[in-house]
Amino acid sequence: MVFSGEATLRKNFFEVFGLPRKLAVDAAELQRQFYALAREHHPDFHQAAPPDERARVEETSALVNAAYRTLRDPIARVDYLVRLEEGRETREGDAARLTAPPALLQEMFEIQEALAEAKTGALDDTTRATLGEQRAALSARLAEEEARLTGPLSARWDAASPADRAAVLAAFKDALATRAYLRTVIDDLSKALGEETEGRGSAGATRTKGGTGGDVGAPRQSTEGVGEATEGRHGSAEATRTKGGTGGHVGAPRQ
């Protein structure tokens, strides 16, 4: 795939890799295309080019990296697809658009009360055990919600007719909002227990420090993205940076 001109910078992340707006992605093929494009457009290989061409190469390289960081992560891929379908490729406005379902807020009322009490003083053993159990239950629920996002809902989108896509997008937004809220509550529970979460994986569990709770669900979802995603119209979702390469570019191969 050869990129040239301003048209390249108007590509969405799926178009960068020649993919349709589908959520089933061949991870190995995606990685193969990424390495080929990263090598072709890495700024280190264009240092002798005129300034305007070097600037274009840097923007193209940033686009390739942001696209790969997003599309390689199944949940980041869903989040990006939702924003793309709504005509907003950045995360601007997410906080206002994604709100937890009322039923979930009501369900979490008891936990929020316990958290408020925990902030007023030291935890006794009984309260600590209760909060730990609640965190474990929410972590399991978070894993189920993420599995639903990347499994049945993603498959439903890929098979949907144009007329059915609005309903699937609504289901995606509801699931993403539920996930974000669960992550926030899990993070708050960890803090109340005196355990800070490590890492911000987009799916599955993250480990906590200094407690007996073991592995817990991923922490709070940030509306500013995770990692150092490219800002502006190509802002990526919650994907993390791949090590390697130079100049902060994801996995850029070296000669």
Round to whole Å and give the CA distance between 242 and 165. 32
Query: Could you give the percent of the chain with pLDDT greater than 70?
Result: 65
The phi, psi pair for 245, rounded to 5°, reads: 80, -175
Pair (13, 119) in one structural domain? no
Pair (110, 209) in one structural domain? yes
Residue at 140 is within a domain: yes
State yes or no: pLDDT of 241 exceeds 90: no
Domain count, the chain: 2
pLDDT, mean over the chain: 75
Pair (106, 194) in one structural domain? yes
CATH code for the domain in which residue 10 is found: 1.10.287.110
**Model pLDDT, residue 8:** 53
Pair (138, 200) in one structural domain? yes
Residue 97 pLDDT class (50, 70, 90 cuts): low
Round to whole Å and give the CA distance between 41 and 59. 9
CA 114 to chain centre: 29
Round to whole Å and give the CA distance between 255 and 236. 28
**Model pLDDT, residue 219:** 33
**What's the pTM?**
0.71
**Model pLDDT, residue 187:** 94
Residue at 248 is within a domain: no
Round to whole Å and give the CA distance between 22 and 30. 13
Residue at 111 is within a domain: yes
pLDDT tens, residue by residue, 193-214: 888 655 445 444 443 443 333 3
**Model pLDDT, residue 124:** 85
Residue 147 pLDDT class (50, 70, 90 cuts): very high
The phi, psi pair for 215, rounded to 5°, reads: -85, 135
Q: What range defines the domain where residue 113 resides?
A: 98-217
**Model pLDDT, residue 243:** 39
The angle formed by the CA atoms of residues 81, 83 and 85, to the nearest 5 degrees, is 65
Pair (130, 203) in one structural domain? yes
Round to whole Å and give the CA distance between 202 and 142. 11
Specify the higher pLDDT residue, 187 or 222. Answer: 187
